[in-house]
Amino acid sequence: MDRLHADLLVIGFGKGGKTLAATMGRRGRRVILVEQSDQMYGGTCINIGCVPSKALIHRASTQPGDTDGASWYANSVAWTASLTSTLRSKNFQMLDLLDSVTVITGTAAFFDEKRVEVTAGSDRLEVTADIIVINTGAQTMIPDIPGLRASKHLITGTDLLGSPNLPRRLAVVGAGYQGIEFAAMLRRYGAEVTVLDRAEQLLPAEDSDVAQAAEQILRDEGITFRTGAHITRVTDTPSTTMITYEVNGATSTIEADAVLAATGRAPRTADLRLDAAGVRTTERGAIEVDEHLRTNRPHIFAVGDVNGGPQFTYISLDDYRIVADQLLGEGKRATTDRQAVPYTLFMTPPLARVGMTERQARAAGRPVRVASKPIAAIAAMPRARILDDTRGLMKFVIDAETDRILGAALLSVDAQELINTVALAMRSGATAASLRDAIWTHPSSTEAFNEVLATVIR
């Protein structure tokens, strides 16, 4: 067996790992990055996550009037595949052009805490490194529903993004962010979509008024929701599948051409042989790390989705900053530094949120004021009318004593950008009044803050 040694070994080509590999390589450190598939150079985001899904969401709104949805979907999938191929190549070149970085395509597994085996077919390689960073991401969880895993019609988000065939009737299991994004996107291409979820409320993490506003938009788009639904069985027919479920004791069945599992993603650790390295995992299967992303083996770090943190690319990038600070800097950055981390559900219009919900703030005993207004009622937001989409609402949760913003939910055009301004204001300690009285460009969506924050509803 051949053997190689490096200053840094990165397992997985995700955002945090690849950025660390490039940084260390540019500083002349000997780096080896192992990725199990040449179709995943660059990581989940550009290949099977954010980039292709948001590209398809965007192209759903640009369909020419003389093109049917199924044809436009196939066209959009092909266009998106070309985009991700270009980005994949650029990501590979980013590392391949660095003389001190070697990219190896193969599967990595620990021999022990210092040695890693990389296999590719019959080829085997032993790699040792002073520092090892695990960056293997997460994978789709398939819920334990009788008949689901054996169904020929079961698909994942990855399957959808890679297939040019638009399902005529789609059943989505799970009404979380991934399920809603795919449901909204495929409905816009013309699929009949039914979403089933155990929770009584769509988007249960959101305040009820925000969730209800989002649900109404989606229902108006033609999506059917079955909340409070317990799926009891999935049964294939010769050409379709039947989903049997119960709501309040009553049994119903729907027929679908495809069933999308969208109940979350679990850290990808099964093939790493972590026990051989003595690396501990949490009860939920994530690699256990401290605030500096070190495992219980001080020379082994875990970054990105595999460490059980928020599953966002920008969190993986911040993981890189923390580890880089440990290896090259002062070692002061930590996960505990993170404040007001925003996120966005890319339905149309998008729902973006940061900080506490009203429910969370009141449960925590905070003195709360709330400013909220439907987009259609905001006179100082002409951009929504220019874009011909006045659906949604803006809601701010404010500390009644300090006037600091505790959280916000923005369901509107441009919400994915607006939320970053709110998050920055929260991190900077700005007051709601400062956003209310700020000078914003016109016509923009940001100027809605002037009006919404001028009215405290309760």
Q: Which residues are catalytic?
A: 442
CB atoms within 10 A of CB 458: 8
Contact (CB, 8 A) for 432 and 366:
no
Q: What is the β-pairing status of strands 351-355 and 241-247?
A: unpaired
Amino acid letter at 380?
A: A
Nearest CA to 261 out of 166, 170, 141 is that of: 141
The closest alpha carbon to 276, from 297, 261, 291, belongs to 297
Residue with tokens 């019609």: 153
Residue position matching structure tokens 């500083």? 27
> Is-contact 233 244, C-beta < 8 A?
yes
CB 165 within 8 A of CB 43: no
Taking Cα atoms as reference points, which of 122, 44, 112, 119 lies closest to residue 84?
44
- Does the CA dihedral 375-380-384-386 come out positive or negative? positive
DSSP for 140-161, written as a single string:
EPPP--TTTTT-TTEE-HHHHH
Q: Are 170 and 183 in contact (CB under 8 A)?
A: yes
| Both tokens assigned to 216 | 């109404």
Other Cβ atoms within 10 Å of 364 Cβ, number: 10
Going by their DSSP bridges, the two strands 393-399 and 123-134 should be labelled as unpaired
Alpha helices in 338-391 (DSSP H): 358-363, 382-386
Dihedral sign, Cα of residue 77, residue 83, residue 85, residue 88? negative
**Number of helices (H) and strands (E), helices first, in the chain?**
14, 22
